[in-house]
Structure 1
Amino acid sequence: MTSHSLKLTRMASLVSLAVFHMGSALAQEAAGTASSDKEKNSLNLNSVIVTGTPIGTSKMKASVSISSLDADQISQSAPTNAAEILRAVPGVRAESSGGEGNANLTVRGVPISAGGARYVQFQEDGLPVLLFGDIAFATPDMYLRADGSLSHLEVVRGGTASTMATNAPGGIINFISKNGKEKGGSIGITKGLDFNQTRFDFDYGAALSPKTRMFIAGFYRNGDSSRPAGVTAEDGGQLRANITHELDNGYIRLSVKHLDDKTPMNMPVPVRTVNGSISEMTGIDPRTASFYSPYWTRDIALDKNNNKVSTNVNDGLHAVSNAFGAEASLNVGNGWTLDEKFRKSTNTGRFISIFPADNANNSSGMTYATGPNAGKAYSGPAFTATVFNTSLDDLGSTSNDVRLSRAFELAEGKLATTVGYFTSIQNVALTWNFNQYLMQASGDKPALLNSAATVAGSPGLLAQGTDVWGGCCNRAIDAQYKTNALYTNLGWEKGDWNVDASLRYDKQNASGTYNQAVKQTYIQANTKFINYDVNHTSYSVGVNYRLNKDLALFARTSDGIAFNADRIMFGNPLDGSTPISTNIVKQNEAGVKWKNGDFSSFVTLFQAKTSESNFEATTQKFSSNTYDAKGLEVEASYKIGAFRMTGGLTYTNASITAAADKSIIGKTPRRQAKYVYQIAPTYTMGDAVFGASLIGTSKSFGDDGNTLTLGGFNVLNAFANYQLTERLQASISINNLLNTLGYTEVEGDGHAARSINGRSIRATLKYSF
């Protein structure tokens, strides 16, 4: 039986399990009806949030900026991956143009200087997916999929993120799972209408006994992706489940997750840049171009044991994650509450993508090396395709967070005390291998080419491993980071006042090795050792005052750290003999929360000062910069009858205040737009719901020298749902309805840039029971 058949068989078994329980579930109300009492007409300012707070509290009482999105709100923006969901959150800059992972993400003017999400922590149910957000070729969103298991999303910007999590001074993004409280479930099928994709989803929650309930959900998909490459680029899925037992004094919960998914990685494509302005090249549409192709040969990579490994370029990102979690919340007596979260994860896979080392040029003497025209003369444009082939050997982690809380009566008010202890072991083991090929400059099933410069007997091969980019990028990394963090929070509430202060002491021990191959070989004598300790004390102090039940003012100051992992390797020694670089963010914010009937708003003034050290893989450059960003963040919602509108606006004025390169001081940090905005209207008409979202950005610069311009653009998404019967729903969603071209990044010399995806249309049929 083929791998494809095995996956289909597993999915069929899971769907059968859901259908088996359908008979007893039909008597229950359709899934989702329990959410009808939510504040659908507001920003849920009175709802209790759990992210970034030591104990659950309402938004109106908390002195932090936090957004929450439920499943209905998420569907409005027609996201195609987990990171695209975050486009709808004010203050968050989510560059999700890379596909199902490798997103660049930050908040409120904190810089994106090399990729990933250095200052923001992705969480699932309150624990980190990966402890570091900016590991090269291994970002947390690669191991995260949004499916029917997602209850809602909570996003904290700034504030207590510095003290409530490690490596999260910019914010926390917490994907919170369903746990079976809402009985019933659904099964659904989604088809791509203008591209080849089929996806099956299911979720089901039920009571196993009066005090025990379960939940299970998953998906499986197969297809070409929205950037057709002529190959099966998407293949895989996820299964998540949990079981909860209620106790007289709390609850305990066990959970499991299995992710095995292959998806393409979208990299920058060759472009022309004239006077700082980017233009596309003939035959390469940045919205749809894919250099995955049926005409690739196997890419031979070097593993860390000096073995040759044959890999399939078209596998793209192959992410495999298996996790077991345990959670408990217990009243242990005398008013004390113990909260415990534990997760053990194994994360492995491979990252393969095609990066253009130059933009296309015409040259003579080339022939097709692969494809139906193999051996024939080729006279068109060609470019050097660098295959980023990285083995994700071990990104497994063990995390535990335990906290003890109690509220005391004090001075006619209430003093809430929390003390917690977080521990983590994060492995960072990767093996890089970059080979270069001569490739036809076409965004549609390109072939490899031969020329006088290619290696005889190896179709299209120009350079291998240590012959690429000065031998920089055959790297073997095998590191481990042990983190222990003690934190405490004091929160005092009296009348309309809420005041809180928190401290977090992080201590991290790093150990392991890293090596750089020479002449296609890892030489053991060249091994560099990692052996150092770093620590930092973070703080956050905030105050919130409610003028009345619908109007509150708040202010906060905080200091937090993001530790480095692989980004500082291959530079200064990491054996403890020299100081270890870290990244510090200091923030101030003040704002107002206001609810008036069917109108809600959340307005925040902010300032963020960032000091960081960095290494960028594609430029091979180290940097040490400081940044200052000031701005305004607005989130609002309004409802009138069947019409609802939510939206947000973020204004940011950021500059580089210090740098080793004096020429960039005073410049605007790369990819930092002054304005980012979101507008999402919906209208309900009988059994139909229509919605759209407009997500826009003003222009920004593609480099710190401000010589390259990324033009501003708007992306319009739309959806329509129709309730065919009480339990059967049909829907259609369109991502990038107007097929907008919008660049999110450009290489420093302007030869390549990455755009958002073009238009994609999906139709779904869903049955709820």
Structure 2
Amino acid sequence: MQVARSRAYALSVASSIALLASLSTSAQAQQPAAPAPAETPADNQQADIIVTGTAVRAQRRFDVSYAINSLSQRDVQQIAPKSFADLLGTVPGIQVEATGGEVQNVTRVRGIPTDRGYLIFQQDGLPLYHEIDGPFFNSGEGMNRYDLMSERVEIVRGGPAPIFASSAAAIANTITVTGSDVARGKAQITLGDTGLYRLDAMQSGPIGEKTYFAVGGFLRQHEGYRKSGFPSDKGGQIRANLKHDLDNGFIKLSAMYVNDHNLFYLPIPIADPRNPSVSLDQYIDYHRGTLNSPSLRNVNIKYRDGAGVVQSHDRDLADGRHMRFFNAGLDYEGDFDGWRVSAKAGFTKGRSSFDAFYSTTNPVDAVAFATGTNLTNARAAFGPGVARLGYAFAGTNGASVYDPASASGLVLSGQYRMSESKFYSGQADVSVTRRIETGLGTHDLRVGAYGSLYGNTLLQAYQDMLIELRSKPRTLDLVAYSANGAVLGSVTQNGVLRYTTTLNQGKGDAKMLAVYANDTWDVTRGLRIDFGIRHEWYDYDGYALATTQANLGDPTTLADDTTRAFTGAIINQSLHPKATNWTVGADYDFTSNLGIYGRVSNLEVPPQLGVVTSIAPTIVKTKARQYEVGVKASFGRNYLYLTGFYTKFNPFNASFAAFNPVTGQNDQSLPFVGEATVKGVEIDGRLAPVRWFSITGSVTRQQPEYRNLVNTSGADPSSVNGNQIIREAKFFGNVRPAVNVGVGEARLELFGRYDWVGRRYVDFFSKTAMPAYQTVGAGAAVEWKAWRFQVVGDNITNAKGLTEGNTRTDQFAGQGSAEAIYGRPLFGRNVRFILSRSW
């Protein structure tokens, strides 16, 4: 049934693209054929035009007083990223952990210690969902996918980001393809040795006088970088727009639809905790292994509702993150005697279903697990006749015995998490820009207002499963036997160690309004000063259903003895936070090729909507003060942007809940509250000494530290103050050499990529380290007329490297070893073949 639905969806999207492409062909039949635009590399960086973060009209990258990168389709084509996060990893100042799969990976911006780094994604200047995160989805990589409808991506780090987006320490703005008088199109097929099949298509052009269209999207199925026993990614998206030029501007209507499944890869054990020098690679392969398994395709989640009735949900891990949403947008610009009016509006409505198998505790010795507390609890429940506990494959009532000693001698528990959410988000931005000539320079003044109405529902339930230690593990039952081998009961039930240890349900709605102003003052020739301010008002209303602990009453198992249950009580909550952001920057150009700049920005992040849908929320307003100074040089095909930065994140709240293996809940906490500071240098450059060779690179050197932490639970903050921020590297970057030569009528490109990430730690006390790693990628492409064939390989040396650690348990105590033995490893060697044709 699921396959049939996927095929029907694929056919519907493909037919939509084909239909609109045929309409384009028909409309263009009466027009002279236009030559296909040449896709030439961006040889002259001074010609890079950017629009994100600027109060004035589109500007050259060199002219702005903040750090920004613009990645064109040609740039992305050569990088050939596996995911949006992989693409962002080529930009300085952004450290990524692109090991979770195709979407919703981790980005850290200039050391800000959150999994998103307050990096706000936009599409043509507006977010698809107002907040960074909803319940198990985010408005960044979780909702934005790159395809041929992406004309370019502009990434602002620091600078004026807090003025032009809410909660933004950085902005990644995708500028979509828009039609013009020249028709153009492209189709692309991507095949990968990891079972990847992907089709991209795009068509744009005129459909009438001053009226243009663009449409495109992708369909994809992918078995995955790790062997789960079912596809990792399946689905796609379609985007389209219609633009009409007016005498003084334009109006554009746009729409998009996404229906995509993406599997989440989580950490795996890589070494035996009893002896960390012993690898577990023979049981769970470092590069291809995963705890995702076909045994988790029919998981039953049970809890008691507020009326006392046991509810049951059958879940399929293969559904992964299933994101479905529709977005419609309107964009208008007009010039009225020097008054430039801009109005953007968008509305998104969708649903997110989430299924993932999370890592929890380290593997444990199977004998110890069956003879300790579990045996005591079994005798208390099933009587003194319990002689021993033994392992059996789940659901066989003890008949199909499993002997851990025949394998690793270890067993493992993990947490199956389900989440269901419906969401909506309407957002609009209206601004007026005016150039004002004065006796002392020229001011480009922009004033505007942004507003959003958004909300979501949520239902979340987590439960603990017992599994064998191997890739694609089978679920286990821990069975109580009598002396003569009779089954007296079971600690588990159908592989469930503890039913629904975490349970949340609620609904929240938000209204917010922001007003902002920005003045770009050209004081004298070469000197520019920039001021900006933004004030925001929020209004949250929501509720959460209260929970308690309950025994579901099955006398044959202990798995349902400590289950979370709804009490029937409703906790109504409201909150009305505010935030004020500002920025001041200055830029001085000595010549048209050499300049300097400096800037200070203040970012306030109010509590998010989740505080009114949580039972016991932590309400914190966070501030990030960012300072940056830079030197910039651009000479033809060569450029260098050198930026020093200092980020002060305050208050930093390290009161994270840790996983408690006794209760199966995230209820252990060791709170630290203080500051996180990061000082560093970014280098973004390109050297092209000859026409046929160039080398592009980005390097970040930083010092991420905890400062002035206070603990109220008796822990010594001095053991944490000055330590390296969890999962933050001091040194990371990449270098990308390229050769481009003519071979007869064709062109040959050879390119490489060398990435490195320095040493990081999994815990506040820097007890357990994730070693530094380096990876090498390479590729080649041949272009002949309108055709391009490309092959690209990632991690071609099968380098080993860990990311994340095991964040459920190790933030306070490490992993009991000097180097991490549990984490999310790099993907192994993989190759993709890309064939495209432009017209």
Amino acid at match of 1:225: G
Is the contact made by 2:687 and 2:696 (CA closer than 8 Å) also made in structure 1?
yes
Cα 1:384–1:430 shift into 2, 3 Å: farther
Matches within 5 A, 1:186-335: 186-192=186-192, 194-272=193-271, 280-282=279-281, 283-301=283-301, 307-331=311-335, 333-335=336-338
Matched, 1:497 2:497: no
Contact 1:78 1:717 in 2 (8 A): no
Which residue, out of 83, 86, 89, partners 1:84? Answer: 86
Query: Of 771, 779, 788, which aligns to 1:711?
Result: 771
Q: Tell me if the contact between 1:41 and 1:638 (Cα under 8 Å) persists in the aligned partners.
A: no
Amino acid at match of 1:637: R
Q: Is the 8 A contact 1:593 1:601 kept in 2?
A: yes
Q: Does 1:666 align with 2:701?
A: no
What RMSD, in angstroms, separates the aligned Cα atoms of the two structures?
2.8
In structure 2, list runs of 5 or more residues that go unmatched: 368-389, 481-488, 551-562, 660-665, 712-716, 816-820
Q: Which has the higher contact order (CA 8 A, sep 6+)?
A: 1
Q: Aligned pair in 2 of structure 1 residues 66, 328: CA closer, same or farther (>3 Å)?
A: same
In the alignment, the residues of structure 2 paired with residue 278 and residue 435 of structure 1 have an alpha-carbon distance, to the nearest angstrom, of: 31
Paired residue secondary structure (2:85): helix
Which residue identity lines up with residue 755 of structure 1 in the other structure?
Answer: P
Give 5+ residue unaligned stretches, structure 1: 467-472
SS in 1 for 2:226: coil
Shift of 1:106: 2.2
Alignment CA distance shift 1:73-1:465 (3 Å): same
Deviations along 1:332-383, whole A, 9 cap, x unmatched?
x231111111110113221211122223334262223379x99243323454
Deviation at 1:462, TM superposition (A): 1.2
**Counterpart position of 1:613:** 653
Larger Rg: 2
Residues 279 and 63 of structure 1, relative CA distance in 2, 3 Å threshold: farther
Query: 1:388: Cα distance to partner?
Result: 3.9
Partner of 1:695: 755
Q: What letter matches 2:585 in structure 1?
A: G
Residue 649 of structure 2 aligns to which amino acid in structure 1? T
Alignment correspondent of 1:446: 473
Residue number among 575, 579, 584 corresponding to 1:532 in the alignment: 575
Look up the match of 2:790: 731
Give, in whole Å, the separation in 2 of the partners of 1:240 and 1:279. 50
The answer to whether the 8 A contact 2:574-2:612 is kept is: no
Q: Which residue is 2:373 aligned to?
A: none
Cα pair 2:436 2:442 within 8 Å, conserved: yes
SS in 2 for 1:439: strand
Asked if structure 2 preserves the Cα contact closer than 8 Å seen for 1:30 and 1:185, the reply is no
Aligned: 1:459 with 2:494: yes
Matched residue of 1:85: which SS? helix
* Number of equivalences: 746
Query: How do 1:261-660 and structure 2 match up within 5 A?
Result: 261-272=260-271, 280-282=279-281, 283-301=283-301, 307-331=311-335, 333-363=336-366, 365-369=390-394, 375-379=400-404, 380-381=407-408, 382-443=410-471, 445-452=472-479, 458-466=493-501, 473-493=502-522, 494-518=524-548, 519=550, 520=563, 522-523=565-566, 525-565=568-608, 580-611=619-650, 612-613=652-653, 616=656, 618-619=658-659, 620=666, 621=669, 623-639=672-688, 640-660=690-710
Distance 1:694 1:233, change over 3 A: same
Letter in 1 for 2:644: L
Residue 322 of structure 1, CA deviation: 0.9
Matches within 5 A, 1:101-250: 101-112=103-114, 115=115, 117-135=116-134, 137-140=136-139, 141-168=141-168, 170-181=169-180, 183-192=183-192, 194-250=193-249
Cα drift, residue 232 of structure 1: 2.6
| TM-aligned CA distance change 1:12 to 1:607, over 3 Å | closer
Q: Which residue identity does 1:61 align to in structure 2?
A: D
Please give the alpha-carbon distance, in whole angstroms, between the structure 1 residues aligned to 2:284 and 2:176. Answer: 40
CA contact (8 A) 1:455 1:461 kept: no
Question: Aligned pair in 2 of structure 1 residues 370, 739: CA closer, same or farther (>3 Å)?
Answer: farther
Structure 1 Cα separation of the partners of residues 268 and 356 of structure 2: 11
Cα pair 2:477 2:492 within 8 Å, conserved: no
Change (3 A) 1:18 1:694: farther
Change (3 A) 1:9 1:135: closer
Partner of 1:761: 831
Q: Does the 8 A contact of 2:458 with 2:507 survive in 1? A: yes
Amino acid at match of 1:343: G
Kindly tell me: are residues 455 and 398 of structure 1, through their superposed partners in 2, closer, same or farther at Cα, counting changes over 3 Å?
farther
Q: Secondary structure at 1:60's aligned position in 2?
A: helix
C-alpha displacement at 1:457, in angstroms?
9.0
| Secondary structure at the counterpart of residue 72 of structure 1 | helix
SS of residue in 2 equivalent to 1:5? helix
AA paired with 1:746? G
Q: Is the 8 A contact 2:137 2:352 kept in 1?
A: no
Distance in 2, matches of 1:570 and 1:17, equals 44
Give the TM-score normalised by the residue count of structure 2: 0.84
Q: Which amino acid aligns with 1:532?
A: L
Paired letter, 2:623: I
User: What one-letter code is carried by the residue in structure 2 that aligns with 1:730?
Assistant: F
Equivalent pairs: percent with the same residue? Answer: 23
- Return closer, same or farther for 1:744/1:763 CA change in 2, 3 Å cut-off: same
Letter in 2 for 1:50: V
Q: 1:27 Cα shift?
A: 7.0
State the TM-score, normalized to the length of structure 1: 0.91
Q: Where does residue 76 of structure 2 map in the other structure?
A: 74
Equivalent residues of 2:606, 2:622 under 8 A apart: yes
Do the aligned partners of residues 388 and 564 (structure 1) sit closer, same or farther apart at CA in structure 2, a change above 3 Å counting? farther
Please give the secondary structure, in 2, of the residue aligned with 1:548: coil
State the Cα distance separating 1:99 from its structure 2 match.
1.1
Q: Distance in 2 between matches of 1:250 and 1:225?
A: 46
Judged with a 3 Å threshold, the aligned counterparts in structure 2 of structure 1 residues 522 and 294 are, in CA distance, closer, same or farther, namely: closer
Contact 2:187 2:201 in 1 (8 A): yes
- Structure-1 separation of matches of 2:46 and 2:674: 37
Inter-partner Cα distance in structure 1 for 2:438 and 2:357: 62
Shift of 1:568: 5.5
SS at match of 2:92: coil
CA deviation vs aligned residue, 1:267-306 (integer Å, no higher than 9, x gap): 1112348799898523223432222222335122369887
Judged with a 3 Å threshold, the aligned counterparts in structure 2 of structure 1 residues 462 and 98 are, in CA distance, closer, same or farther, namely same
Instruction: Provide, for residues 735-756 of structure 1, a one-character-per-residue CA deviation record: whole Å limited to 9, x for no partner.
Output: 2222222111112142631122
Match of 2:555 in 1: none
- Say if 1:398 and 1:426, in contact at 8 Å, map to a contact too: yes
Structure 2: which amino acid aligns with 1:626?
E
CA deviations 1:487-532 (Å, max 9, x no partner) are 0011111311111101110111121012353335653554333211
Mapped partners of 1:366, 1:302: distance in 2 = 23
2 CA distance for matches of 1:298 and 1:589?
A: 52
User: For the residues of structure 2 that align with 1:497 and 1:387, how far apart are their CA atoms?
Assistant: 57
Residue type at the aligned position of 1:449: L
Q: Report the CA distance between 1:458 and its aligned residue.
A: 4.0
- Give, in angstroms, the shift of residue 571 of structure 1: 8.3
Q: Which moved more, 1:493-502 or 1:50-59?
A: 50-59
1 CA distance for matches of 2:106 and 2:435? Answer: 40
SS at match of 1:406: strand
2: distance between equivalents of 1:187 and 1:697? 35
Q: CA deviation at 1:154?
A: 0.6
